[in-house]
């Protein structure tokens, strides 16, 4: 089911193995202008068609509109012209347009295709963006089938005049980050009868076996013994017990300690407060937060970033049964805080606070949790923008800066004190739910109760952009998107010594 690993190579010139060449079209003050077109190809096309590549492209409908793709005939290999927008191209424009071009290319081929991307990229950030865009656009989930469905992207070459060490490093970073995003996508797309807490935990462990990451997995017995009341309650209704996966990457000399926490509900039926059928179908994606933090931690380790990262993935399957937890149950979270459960379909926050409370014991310099947490966040921000709530504005700004650099869309929301007051309980220390209005803020206020006062914290609600159930666009496929992986890797890089 997993996608095969793709290679990215930085080259100065094309080789004979290239099947498809992607070049760009930008809007200048003088009109459209092609970028990245080899002069010898211009000459051969003029000889063959009696017109320039630009004339041929415009005749065939090429536009400077970002991600607009046009195919041109050539003698040696397919030529693809992709719009890049205005001449002052940004890394995100390169990422999105490259992805759109690659996706269009592989949709036309049954066999693996060797692609060269030539957009006059010399700046390292542009090279990284092109590498990411190519691999993200080439993503395909391998179907669960006894017939072959091989990857259609064979390899990627980024054509650049600069092959300096920093340029090669940029291509390497782009490939590693894109691979991490694709790993998260694979996990999200895997059917829930195949990806459940135990198999997810083992898959995560297998992913990092060749890295400098220490792995600890707590099964349901260990979770009960150690007082993880959120995980054991939420996972209690399923025949498949919960798991808590802990990754620890601690390179020598790293001074900043970042803790990542991810919601890993491998399937969410809603429990006894069961979801309607239409709302349940895509709930294999409810472990997107855990997928993001695990994949990002692996990428940070592979890149050798000088930052200490401890990652917690809280995994459970939320099912109704005679052993399921109930609305109005009182649960004891790791560390001793008691919670009055308001709704069994608000299960994500319960597994998260177990992991957050445990992460606080590590005394990190910052905690970031990632979760497909609330439908309310989708109501507020739609399906393409994730919510961000934080303990303070400085922490929010640090994460938002990383998101901007990574090209992912987050929007900061508040956690007002009056919402926090609504979580007071008559029978326990705190209630897990509050007013329906401002539901994303209520959930964040609940999580904040379990963060130590002296630890900066940010909460990323990715419920909207974690799963795309409509047609692909830019570098986003149908299905799991791997959102937040790029932001977390950029965050780790920004916190290095």
Catalytic residues: 275, 349
Q: Is 24 helix (H, G, I), strand (E, B) or coil?
A: strand
Cα distance between residue 467 and residue 481, in whole Å: 6
Residue corresponding to tokens 């947490």: 373
Q: Is 496 helix (H, G, I), strand (E, B) or coil?
A: coil
Side-chain half-sphere exposure of 201, counting CA atoms within 13 A: 22
Measured CA to CA in angstroms, residue 37 lies from 105, 116, 220, 274, 471 at distances of 18, 11, 58, 57, 30
Pick the closest to residue 121 from 137, 133, 138, 107 (CA basis): 133
- State which H helix or E strand residue 393 sits in: helix 393-406
Per the CB < 8 A criterion, the answer to whether 262 and 225 are in contact is no
Cα distance between residue 411 and residue 394, in whole Å: 14
Per the CB < 8 A criterion, the answer to whether 267 and 196 are in contact is yes
Cα distance between residue 186 and residue 178, in whole Å: 12
Residue corresponding to tokens 């790293």: 254
- CA 436: distance to chain centroid? 28
Cα distance between residue 327 and residue 273, in whole Å: 8
Measured CA to CA in angstroms, residue 104 lies from 100, 109, 303, 344, 493 at distances of 6, 9, 30, 43, 32
Q: At what angle do helices 124-137 and 91-106 cross, to 10 degrees?
A: 30
Q: Which residues contact 42 (CB under 8 A, 6 or more apart)?
A: 52, 53
Q: At what angle do helices 348-361 and 439-448 cross, to 10 degrees?
A: 30
- Give long-range contacts, CB 8 A cutoff, 24+ apart: 48-56: 48/74, 48/75, 53/79, 53/81
């Amino acid at each position: 089911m997993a996608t095969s690993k793709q290679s990215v190579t930085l080259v100065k010139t094309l080789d004979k193995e290239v099947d498809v060449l992607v070049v760009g079209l930008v809007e200048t003050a003088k009109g459209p202008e092609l970028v990245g077109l080899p002069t010898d190809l211009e000459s051969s096309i003029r000889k063959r068609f009696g017109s320039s590549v630009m004339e041929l492209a415009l005749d065939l409908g090429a536009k400077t509109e970002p991600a607009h793709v046009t195919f041109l005939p050539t003698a040696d290999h397919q030529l693809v012209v992709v719009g890049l927008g205005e001449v002052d191209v940004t890394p995100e424009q390169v990422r999105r347009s490259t992805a759109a071009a690659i996706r269009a290319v592989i949709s036309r081929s049954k066999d693996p295709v060797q692609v060269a991307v030539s957009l006059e990229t010399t700046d390292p950030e542009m090279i990284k963006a092109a590498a990411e865009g190519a691999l993200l656009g080439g993503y395909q989930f391998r179907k669960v089938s006894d017939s072959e469905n091989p990857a259609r992207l064979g390899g990627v070459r980024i054509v650049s005049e600069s092959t300096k060490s920093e340029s090669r490093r940029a291509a390497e970073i782009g490939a590693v980050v894109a691979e991490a995003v694709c790993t998260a996508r694979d996990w999200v797309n895997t059917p829930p009868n195949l990806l459940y807490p135990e198999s997810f935990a083992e898959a995560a462990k297998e992913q990092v076996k060749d890295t400098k990451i220490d792995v600890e997995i707590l099964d349901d017995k260990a979770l009960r013994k150690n007082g993880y009341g959120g995980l054991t309650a939420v996972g209690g209704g399923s025949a498949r017990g919960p798991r808590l996966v802990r990754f620890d990457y601690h390179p020598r000399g790293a001074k900043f300690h970042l803790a990542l926490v991810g919601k890993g509900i491998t399937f969410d039926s809603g429990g006894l407060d069961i979801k309607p059928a239409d709302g349940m179908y895509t709930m294999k994606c409810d472990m997107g937060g855990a997928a993001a933090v695990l994949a990002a931690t692996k990428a940070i380790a592979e890149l050798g970033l000088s930052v200490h990262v401890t990652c917690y993935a809280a995994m459970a399957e939320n099912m109704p049964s005679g052993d399921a937890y109930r609305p109005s149950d009182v649960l004891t979270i790791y560390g001793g805080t008691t919670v009055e459960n308001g709704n069994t379909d608000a299960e994500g926050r319960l597994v998260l606070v177990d992991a957050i409370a445990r992460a606080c014991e590590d005394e990190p310099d910052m905690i970031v949790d990632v979760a497909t947490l609330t439908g309310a966040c989708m109501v507020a921000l739609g399906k393409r923008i994730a919510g961000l709530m934080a303990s303070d504005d400085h922490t929010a700004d640090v994460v938002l800066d990383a998101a901007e650099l990574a090209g992912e869309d987050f929007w900061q929301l508040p956690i007002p004190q009056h919402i926090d007051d609504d979580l007071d309980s008559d029978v326990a220390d705190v209630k897990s739910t509050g007013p329906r209005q401002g539901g994303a803020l209520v959930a964040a206020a609940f999580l904040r109760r379990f963060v130590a006062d002296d630890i900066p914290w940010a909460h990323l609600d990715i419920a909207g952009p974690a799963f795309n159930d409509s047609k692909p666009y830019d570098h986003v496929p149908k299905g799991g998107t791997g959102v937040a992986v790029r932001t977390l890797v950029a965050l780790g890089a920004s916190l290095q010594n």
